[in-house]
Amino acid sequence: MLKRTGLLAAAAALSLSSPAMAWGQLGHRVIGELAEEWISGRTQAEVELILGEEGLAEASTWADEQRSNPAAFWQEEAGPFHYVTVPEGTTYAEVGPPQEGDALSALARFAATVRDPGATREDKALALRFIIHIVGDVHQPLHAGSGEDRGGNDVKVRWFDDATNLHSVWDSRMIEGQDLSYTEYTSWLGRQIEPTETIAWWEADPQVWIGESTQIRDTIYPDGQEDMPNLGWSYQYRHLATAETRLQQGGVRLAAYLDWLFAPMPGA
């Protein structure tokens, strides 16, 4: 049973390789709720000291909900923190973050804030909410963009005859089409995770997650040369299981990362 039932940022998002949204609210909440199953009691207590009664599912969408916040941080700085750019045939370790930062550099920055005994609770809350969100983001394959099509946003497709783009299909269209609430989806996906999978997926290194996403990314583009292919049952049959596995892995990895984040520091 689960433990808990024109702005600068917009311009930057248009000019860089990927957008700032991933999974939509449904996917992020599923990942957050799944993570509640596996975090340790100590981690749960540490999270509550920072976020109070706000659970991981609730916190998971906050970084997207703040995109209209007029504060300079949100409009001038935070946009690139939702994705990484890894050109085809390279690894993240080879390319690293751009000057403006990315999801991985932001993750390190926010982890340092959470661990800083001098940081305010408000600063730690912002950092922790962003961490929860970023872990989900980088498990969406198109948030490890190639740098060529804004993470699939420029790939125009039809989803069951409805005009959209490939990024939107992976963010929301495919999983929201299952017509499940986030608690229903969490229950379904959580029951399917075998203990051996939890052990195998228990990985707190974000470069591993990014490497997986880039490998998947290069297999999910539509076949053929149509200008606007109509994706539907056949595409869903081939790729829905992959999307759901990434949600499951995102939940397990969020728990692994938070357990690592709140583990006692050496010498503390």
Poorest-confidence range of 19-23, 32-36, 48-52, 218-222? 19-23
Looking at residue 267, its pLDDT comes to: 63
Q: Has residue 207 been placed in a domain?
A: yes
Q: Which structural domain range is residue 36 located in?
A: 8-261
Taking a C-beta distance cutoff of 8 angstroms, is the pair 213, 141 a contact? yes
What is the CATH classification number for the domain harbouring 65?
1.10.575.10
Q: Has residue 65 been placed in a domain?
A: yes
Of 26, 22, 20, the residue nearest 57 (C-alpha): 26
Q: Has residue 266 been placed in a domain?
A: no
Q: Has residue 209 been placed in a domain?
A: yes
Q: What is the pLDDT of residues 152-191, one digit of tens each?
A: 999 999 999 999 999 999 999 999 999 999 999 999 999 9
- Chain centroid to Cα 120, Å, comes to 25
Q: How many domains does the chain have?
A: 1
Q: Has residue 236 been placed in a domain?
A: yes
Q: Has residue 1 been placed in a domain?
A: no
* Chain position carrying tokens 């200008």: 227
Quick one: average pLDDT of 129-148? Answer: 97
pTM for this predicted structure: 0.90
Q: What is the pLDDT of residues 211-265, one digit of tens each?
A: 999 999 999 999 877 889 999 999 999 999 999 999 999 999 999 999 999 998 7
Q: Has residue 2 been placed in a domain?
A: no
Residue 47: which pLDDT band, with cuts at 50, 70 and 90?
Answer: very high
Q: Has residue 86 been placed in a domain?
A: yes
